[in-house]
Amino acid sequence: MTAAALIVAGGSGERFGSPGGKQLAPLAGRPVLAWTIAAVAAVDRIDVIVVACHPERVEMYREAIKEVIDPGKPTLFVAGGASRQESVSAALAWVAPEFDIVVVHDGARPLTEPGLFDAALDALVDGGYDGVIVGHPSIDTLKSVVDGIVESTPERASLWAVQTPQVFRADELRSAHIAASRAGFVGTDDASLIEWQGGRVAVIEGPRDNIKVTVPEDLAIAEAILASR
């Protein structure tokens, strides 16, 4: 098995209010993105890392996280697209055909531990699925809302909050991205592209502290979690 990891770090981050966006926001002494890349690099079964960045920040990001780059594990920084889906496609184009598995992970999800990547990879290999995603069952009541008005309350027993990493058979992910691009289909994550194409995606439960840094307040939560470890 050969696996490549795609780290999606292509957003502009303008709303975050920090130079370089949330990827370069300081978290316990290093940028958010550096924590993410260090965790991915620590996974033995991942052989190469491709980071999809905002086109104007490729060199900035490479320089900012150079201290955590593993010299024995190639790490490429490439220009992403205008959307998350386009950024993954751009990074996927740099993955050589001989790779069997592709891992997709959010650049702004810095608290993911190497063992979670391994668990997702094990589930993919052992289960024969097209993809495996990480998430956790919803503990909140969810509402379907249109224009500020509640339309319905879905039964939450079957609803999960989905995170990354997400791992896929490389050929299936490539096929799904190509088909979606041709059809104009836009998914909210890569798993939705596999599902749209009829593939089987399994989910494993991950820790609830695998948070994504989205707004500045999330940094305080992330720092508290790191301190507790």
Task: Tell me the per-residue pLDDT of 53-66, one tens digit each, with 9 for 90 and over.
Answer: 989 889 999 998 98
Residue 91 predicted with pLDDT over 80: yes
What's the pLDDT score for residue 157? 87
Tell me whether residue 178 is exposed, middle or buried, using C-beta atoms within 10 angstroms of its C-beta: 0 to 12, 13 to 18, 19 or more.
middle
Q: Which domains does the chain have, with CATH numbers?
A: 3-228 (3.90.550.10)
Task: Tell me the per-residue pLDDT of 171-197, one tens digit each, with 9 for 90 and over.
Answer: 999 999 999 999 999 999 999 999 999
Of all residues in the chain, the percent with pLDDT exceeding 90 is: 85
What's the pLDDT score for residue 15? 61
What's the pLDDT score for residue 71? 86
